[in-house]
Amino acid sequence: MKKSLLLWVGLILLFALEILRVYFIMPFPGSQRHDTVGFAYFLDRNIVWLRIVGLALVVWPLLHYLRSGRVGLKIVLVLLLLLYGGVFYMFNFRFLADKMFYQPKVKQFAMDSTDKQRLVIGVAIQGAAKSYPIEIIGYHHQVKDTLGGQPILVTYCTVCRTGRVYSPIIQGRYAAFRLVGMDHFNAMFEDEETHSWWQQATGKAITGPLKGQQLAEVASAQMTLASWQALHPNSLTMQPDPNFVRKYDSLKGYDEGIINSSLEKRDSGSWNFKSWVIGVNAGEEVRPTTGTIWSGTA
């Protein structure tokens, strides 16, 4: 095979690997419209070996042309290598979900009486109650906590406006999760032991060794802080982590759906892509109501 063909095939492979591994699990144009999570998972789990293949194709012809190629070709190759370094950095250290959204460093709770019209996710277990303001957990995407002696995982996806609370116990063992990206505009988490990917809205593993398994859901409610405190007067409320004040500021207006973001704002008309609706589940029939409605039910 010609050295030039090996070089270009290897370079295209290296660039494609770095970009597609992240493209399919982040909200880039067109990336969330198709069932590509299986392919994205394959790339993620095999990225090291695939990079080695790409490098193996590139090294020999690259060294040849850098030694004996024309000056113009050498400049082009050096620029391509620099470009690949930039792509590698951006798609491995900037565009990955867990490099953009971090877990709280300081978790504080208090009897909160400020801004009672904030939307919160409320959880009550064994007589203990806590609420988690959406404009806080919306940035973190998940908050690990303990309530009523039980570990809980409070999750929220700002893109699809879904809040769910789960037990982080898998097969009898506590599991830590990291935000890995999204699938069909819904956040995905990866457990650190099996590296399976879990859908935030359903708590189901959608790819990986535990595919098909389900996290146990913990009952929760989404409503205003005032409504939650009326039900649970002694509830504690999660306070902002001072390390992420600017990140929280970026979500101001999220509760009202007026945030300046095409991903996170809501549609004001009924039946649009990001309208708020009430869903009714009766037996095997599931149906959303007409109109743009938000409900404070779990």
Average pLDDT, the chain: 89
Instruction: Give the distance, in angstroms, between the CA of residue 138 and the centroid of all CA atoms in the same chain.
Output: 10
pLDDT score for 295: 33
- Does the pLDDT at position 231 exceed 90? yes
Phi, psi of 81 (to 5 degrees): -65, -40
| pLDDT tens digits, 27-58 | 888 888 889 999 999 999 999 999 999 999 99
- Considering 110-119, 130-139, 271-280, the range whose residues carry the highest mean pLDDT is 130-139
Q: Could you give the C-alpha distances from 198 to 157, 187, 194, 215, in angstroms and in order?
A: 13, 9, 11, 9
> Which pTM does this prediction carry?
0.86
pLDDT score for 296: 34
> Would you say 25 and 181 are in contact if contact means Cβ atoms under 8 Å apart?
yes
Residue predicted with more confidence, 284 or 80:
80
- Does the pLDDT at position 206 exceed 60? yes
